[in-house]
Structure 1
Amino acid sequence: MATKATALPSVPKSGAISKGYNFASTWEQNAPLSEQQQAAIVMLSHAVAERPFPVNLAQEHISGQDNGLSVATKVSSFGESEAIEAVLVNTNQFYKWFTDLELAMKSETEEKYCHYVDTLTERIQTCDDILRQVDETLDLFNELQLQHHAVATKTKTLHDACDRLVMEKQRLIEFAEALRSKLNYFDELENISTNFYSPNMNVGNENFLPLLKRLDDCIAYVESNPQYAESGVYLLKFRQLQSRALGMIRSHVLTVLKSASSQVQAAIRGSGGNKASVSEGVEASVIFVRFKAAASELKPVLEEIESRSSRKEYVRILAECHRLYCEQRLSLVKGIVHQRISEFAKKEALPSLTRSGCAYLMQVCQLEHQLFDHFFPSSSEDISSLAPLIDPLSTYLYDTLRPKLIHETNVDYLCELVDILKVEVLGKQLNRRSESLAGLYPTFQRILADVHERLTFRARTHIRDEIANYISSDEDLDYPAKLERSAEIGLETTSADGNPDVYKTWFPPVEKTISCLSKLYRCLESSVFTGLAQEAVEVCSSSIQRASKLIAKKSTPMDAQLFLIKYFLILREQIAPFDIEFSVTHKELDFSHLLEHLRRILRGQASLFEWPRSTSLARTLSPRVLESQIDAKKELEKSLKITCEEFIMAVTKLVVDPMLSFVTKVTAVKVASSSGNDNHKVDSVMVKPLKDQAFATPDKVAELVHKVNDAFQQELPKVMAKMKLYLQNPSTRTILFKPIKTNIVEAHIQVQSLLKAEYSSEEQSIINMVSIPDLQAHLDRLL
């Protein structure tokens, strides 16, 4: 059966298209495309949505025989569409047709991939070609880099060589310059020698100082480089030139100074006088001003020398210039200074001479320092520079004062001299002008030391003669009459500060001691004054004690005691303001231990040649140094305390001695009674009551109390009157009377206790002892 295929309006979509679309979707998920790429795919999908049958299967007519099948097909293409008709006669043709159709469809489905593979293959080939070209380019670049490195290395080597050559050239130039500069120092020898030995060369020449500076530089260079050949020879020649130049400077300075001195001397003669009689008004204007003007030409040369004073040669020439200057100045002023000081010595006493001489010498020294500073500004601070001038001038004053100091015996004058030198001279004037007057300080200190030495000697002599060896006159020992006469005229009632005449009423050694120490306190060194004060207080205390013993013989022991107390208190009070320790350490040599050694040697028990090695013979036979410390102030306090205690006991016994004897006897009786009872040997006398004892009957006790009351009423007021006569200070009397009062009251208390214990009321009324409150009230009224 044959069928006829008719052309269809469209062909169903092929499965390859669906697969391709699915593949694209998967690829899109794994590798997302851009919007432009996705639009391109959409366009492609629409373009291939309908595909025609393969060309080889398209037929206009396919016929078959015997039940053949005709199939009409229409093939669509991209640009056109046509109907393909095929006649399928049998099944084989159909299967063949279908197979061909299937292969065509499969071939068409794989075509785009094959095309894509071809495209990729072409691109891979292209990349391979590009990589090959890149490798070739890199090889060429590496070769070019190697060539560049070689060229750079050669260039750097050339540059380094050039730099080395430049540096070597610079070093050679510097070496040549250094060699030339070093040789210049040696070449200068001829130039400098020619100039210095020129007849026209002198210190005043404008080229002299520059040549001298160049010469110094050459010497310094040659000295610092002794390794150079012939440096020693050149140094010797340079030094010879320097010595010649410095000698020229010395001669020039001496010539100018002598010329200036001659001009000043001519001016002095023109003023109608001589060096020794020039007036004070002319002195400053002529000797200082004219000399300064005449010698002003030396200033540049001297300043140049001072600027090089770090070198020893110039130190010597500067010192020589200082000496020449001082010699010329001394020749001008020594006569005037000596004449002025001699005038002072003729007209004035020692204190006025010291004051005037020191003031004049300081004026001269200040003017000389100003003049010296004009010539030597850098050396003026050194006080030793002007010493050859200032020392002889100050010696004139010292030589004038010393003989007068040696023969001065007045301690007041010597103290005044110390005050002038310490306060007016060294204290005020030198402090205000310390730099210009420093040269006078040693001389003034020497004068002050001599004054101290003389003052110390005179003070010791005064202490020995006027205090230690003082012989008291009858008037000095006329106590208490002397105090009574003083009380009548009112001297003793006035303090020493308010009335100096009160000193005249004192015991002379005390007055002399206080007066001497008051003068010496501000005048001597502390160590010297301490020794003198200790000695003075010690001998004064001894003198007071000797006088007290004489007063005790002439008057009464109580007057002697009050005399001691009075002047011990005065002495203690007057030395209290002195801020020193009255302690002195005495050293003595003790040879007592040598006696036994000498005895052993004389007996033959020891030999000088067999002395033990462990003990040196010289050390064994050397004396021992014994030190003893004496404190005069403590000794004074001790003596005062002992005297006060003796006075207190003497007054106590004077008033209540019967009571004290009575209490002592009662105590002895009780002790004897107690001792008898212990030994079981009781005596009839011992066991009797106290009032039955012969010494303790009421009548005896009443008599005893009556004696005490009489002494209390008569003797104690006399004692108080004497105390007021000797001790004007009420507080002193109160302090001294307080233990006396205590002793008197204590004695009455002890007796009253015995009366209450041993006697009846009637017996106590017979005894009629004063009550303790009344006793105390009466004692208080006595003060």
Structure 2
Amino acid sequence: MYEDSWYNYIPDFQQQQQQQQQPQPQHKRISSQSYGHRRRESLLQQPSGPNGTNEVTEDLEELLEEDDDDPLDARPPRRAHSISDFYTLMRAEALGHEHAAQKIRKTNKRDLGLEALALPGSETIDDDHEITTIDTFEDDLLLDAGQQEYTLYGDQLALTERHLDTLIEDTNSALKLLASLSESFRGVEEQTSTFQSQCEGLLSEQTRLEKLADEVGTELHYYAYIDNVTRRLNGPGAGRQIEDESFGETLNNLDACIAFMEKNPSYRDAESYLARYQSLLTKALHLLEVGLQNRLDRVSADISRQIQATKSESARHALAYGRFEEMMLDSYALIPNVQKVVHQAYDQSGNALSGTNSDIYSNTANNIFQAYIAARDRDLRPIIQHDLDVFKKEAKEVSMETASRNYVKQCFERSYNEAMLFAKIFAVEPHYSTDPNSAFVTLKSHQRVMVNATNVVPIAHTLQSALHGAELQTLCNILGWITNEYLISDYDEEASAFTRHCQELAARLLAEHLWIFTDTAFEAEIHKSISKVAVLPDELKVGPVVDGVASSNAYPPVKRALELLVMFDQSMPKERCQRNSPVVYKIVKETIQVLQRAEARIKSTKTATDPDLFMLKNLLIIKNELVSLEIGDVRNQEADMEHFGQIWNNITPQSLVGYVSSFIPSAAASLWSPMATPLLGGGGSGGGGAASAATAAAPDHQDASEQLDTLLRQAIVGFTQRWADLLGDGKGRKTAGKNLVKVEKDLEEMLQTAFSSQPEVVGKLKEAIQMHQQAQGRK
């Protein structure tokens, strides 16, 4: 940026050094030699050069480099012993032959120490002139030798001073030059600030234009892509693209173009391009549908032919699942492209996804699912027919229960295999869902004869057809086995995938089909054996208890009602029995009506049977059975799929079906609650009115259990009050003792006959009779 000459501000010091290093005259030899003097290096300093010497020296040290010749010896020369030696030394000193002097000193080196100690004038010389001359000369030499070292140091200091003065002058010049440069730079900066701001503005504008150009180029790409994709999808051999990985990239690009046009509807021809891109997307997905359909047809034709040709069950299973999976997955990119399309409509659990083109992808996925189910239905039709034939044969030759169990197990295993095959091909595992847009509902709408994870209709139809004319007990046994086998877990370990799959199928099979079918069968049985049963006079009595069973002397329709309650409880989960079951309600309701008709018949015919005791005995049996089965709330409300949700969320033995629990000895204690006290303490006239009111038909929305309790309390009040009156009348007559004994005996026989196995009931009834007598005595 700047000229090199700007920085050449140091004086030409090198020229001065060269001039000083030139050879000097002989008379300045001593001064030249002093330039080389320097301090000796410390012995502790490590050598820096390869030979142990410091090869790097400063400029000043170069000027002070020692001369090769040693300085003159400061010691005075020895005195001559003869005239010849004296002349020789004088001649050597005068001519400056230093080597000759050193030679003489070396030869007389041994005597130097002694001669240096000799005092001047101590020698004995005959000639006085010569002695004086020698002494003067020796004094001069000795003075020069003593001052030579100080003279050398003085010369070195003078030289150093000159160098320092030179450095100071050079430094001052450099500082002046730098100051001028700083002023120049400051002036340049002031002059170029405006230019710099203009450059920055130009750079920011360039960046903005580049960004704008990139955006324009990107947006133009969405318009320019239509020609390329149109040629690819409408050209010859377009169907082969579904076998290549680039097909997935094409779908992604079409999605991006459609999303761009929908996001920018104000752009030019955006609506037209949007319609064209959507049409091209539909075209691409149609090519995928056709390609998958062709592959399914080829594989299905091969598999169906081999399945029909073999009779081995294991071979058929291997062909229907192992071989079919191998042939379907033996493609380069067809199945991955199909999975990509399915995942644009549903997630891995089969839940519907929302997106720009979700409707188009959902329609394509539904068509693919329908084609797949149709192909599998053709392949498995011979196997399904074989299973049905085996089921019918076992139902006739062995038993209906055994045949049903084997058939259900086989169907559940096949459904699990179909679910695993579906997950491998489409990478989706549809779970139960009520969302109409989910994959579960979509697959369920394409039901055929094949059993799969969403289709349990074939199992239900087969069982319902076989059990249509079977006994009700057989149906209840099969339902109880399905519930106990698949919905109740006897272990705490984590359930396997197959176990969870069977639990879901069993819950759906029961809730959607078999429970409804069973309710219909129970209603038909209730209508036949309870509602329409004829009232026979021989049955309108209370016989003795057989084998200590309290219900052994019950009215025959009541016995049948108890059997139906037990069967229904064994075949259904507790939630369905306890929470407003229509079947339980109808059983209790129809039984109450039958008992009311029988009571009216007893009163009209004036038989020996006590009508209140008849009602008391049978109603108490029904109440005890409801309590033992833990059925409290009995209302007329239809139970739909709510029970399925409760079962599926709580698959535990405590929350599912439970068989008959331990028998509760008696429920009579609950009848003598504070609610019943006013009835027991009332007069005899009140009982008839209450009884007549109870005979009225209760509305359908009323709780049958409450109606049962009301009738039971009324029967107790009527019975105890009437016998209290009879005992009171027996005491008031003249033959009070005999009548009282007879009445008490008749009462005891009647109670023992009806409640021989329930002494607590007998005790409570007697206590109530005494309470009535005490009330009458206070009047």
Matches within 5 A, 1:358-397: 358-378=408-428, 380-381=430-431, 382-387=439-444, 390-393=447-450, 394-397=456-459
1:731 aligned to which of 726, 743, 760: 760
Q: Shift of residue 290 of structure 1?
A: 0.7
Report the equivalent of 1:317.
364
1-structure distance, mates of 2:710, 2:772: 27
Equivalence for 2:314: 281
Q: How does 1:193-592 map to 2 (within 5 A)?
A: 193-196=230-233, 199=236, 202=240, 203-269=242-308, 272-273=309-310, 278-296=311-329, 297=331, 298-309=334-345, 310=355, 311-312=357-358, 313-348=360-395, 350-378=400-428, 380-381=430-431, 382-387=439-444, 390-393=447-450, 394-408=456-470, 410-420=471-481, 422-424=483-485, 433-434=499-500, 444=510, 445-466=512-533, 469-473=534-538, 476=539, 483=544, 491-492=546-547, 494=548, 496=549, 503-521=551-569, 523=572, 526-542=580-596, 545=599, 548-549=602-603, 553=607, 556=608, 565-577=616-628, 578-581=630-633
For 1:396, give the aligned amino acid: P
Query: Out of 703, 710, 715, which is 1:639 matched to?
Result: 715
Deviations 1:386-417 (A, max 9, x none): 33565543443344344455545x33234335
Q: Distance in 1 between matches of 2:405 and 2:244?
A: 50
Shift of 1:736: 3.1
Query: For this pair of structures, how many residues does the alignment match?
Result: 490
Cα displacement (A) at 1:647: 2.0
More strand by percentage: 1
CA deviations 1:261-295 (Å, max 9, x no partner) are: 122123324xx43xxxx543233211011110000
Moved more, 168-177 or 308-317: 308-317
Q: Deviations over 1:557-577 (max 9, x none)?
A: 7x6665555445444434444
CA distance in 2, matches of 1:749, 1:228: 103
**Is contact 1:329–1:389 with CA below 8 Å preserved after alignment?**
no
Q: CA shift at 1:162, angstroms?
A: 0.9
SS at match of 1:579: coil
CA distance in structure 2 between the partners assigned to 1:734 and 1:171 by the alignment: 103
Q: Distance in 1 between matches of 2:636 and 2:370?
A: 49
Structure-1-length-normalised TM-score: 0.54
Change (3 A) 1:545 1:256: same
Q: Deviations over 1:51-79 (max 9, x none)?
A: xxxxxxxxxxxxxxxxxxxxxxxxxxxxx
Change (3 A) 1:722 1:378: closer
Q: Is the contact between residue 651 and residue 740 of structure 1 (CA under 8 Å) also seen in structure 2?
A: no
- Check whether the contact 1:287–1:332 (CA below 8 A) recurs between aligned residues: yes
Task: Determine the structure 2 residue equivalent to 1:169.
Answer: 206
Name the amino acid aligned to 2:295.
V
Q: Secondary structure at the match of 2:243?
A: coil
State the one-letter code of the partner of 2:562.
I
The answer to whether the 8 A contact 1:463-1:513 is kept is yes
Q: TM-score, normalised by structure 2?
A: 0.54
Is this contact kept in 2: 1:305–1:318, CA < 8 A?
yes
- The answer as to whether partners of 2:530 and 2:557 remain within 8 angstroms in 1 is no
Aligned CA-pair RMSD: 4.2
Q: 1:721 to 1:452 in 2, by over 3 A?
A: closer
Following TM superposition, by how much is the alpha carbon of 1:634 offset from its aligned partner in structure 2, in angstroms?
Answer: 0.5
Distance 1:419 1:227, change over 3 A: same
Q: Which whole-Å CA distance do the structure 2 matches of 1:377 and 1:710 have between them?
A: 92
Provide the C-alpha distance between the structure 2 equivalents of 1:279 and 1:560, rounded to a whole number of angstroms.
69
Rounded Cα–Cα distance in structure 2 between residues aligned with 1:177 and 1:246: 32
Query: Residue 170 of structure 1 aligns to which amino acid in structure 2?
Result: T
Q: CA deviation at 1:249?
A: 1.5
Q: Deviations over 1:625-671 (max 9, x none)?
A: 999957232122202220221122223323x131xxxxxxxxxxxxx
Q: How does 1:33-44 map to 2 (within 5 A)?
A: none
State how 1:707-726 maps to structure 2 within 5 Å: 707-711=735-739, 716-717=744-745, 719-726=747-754
Rounded Cα–Cα distance in structure 2 between residues aligned with 1:416 and 1:323: 37
Q: Which residue type is aligned with residue 624 of structure 2?
A: E
Cα distance in structure 1, aligned partners of 2:482 and 2:248: 48
Distance 1:162 1:748 in 2: 123
For 1:284, what is the secondary structure of its paired residue?
helix
Q: Counterpart of 1:639 in structure 2: which amino acid?
A: A
User: Is the 1:193–1:241 Cα contact (8 Å) retained in structure 2?
Assistant: yes
Is 2:423–2:429's contact at 8 Å kept on the other side of the alignment? yes
1:40 maps to: none
Distance 2:284 2:619 in 1: 80
Asked whether the equivalents of residues 599 and 614 of structure 2 are also in contact (C-alpha less than 8 Å), the reply is no
Given that 1:426 and 1:441 are in contact with CA atoms closer than 8 Å, whether structure 2 keeps it comes out as: yes
1:295 counterpart SS class? helix
Residue identity over aligned pairs, in percent, reads 16
**TM-superposed deviation, 1:528:** 0.7
Distance 1:197 1:208 in 2: 14
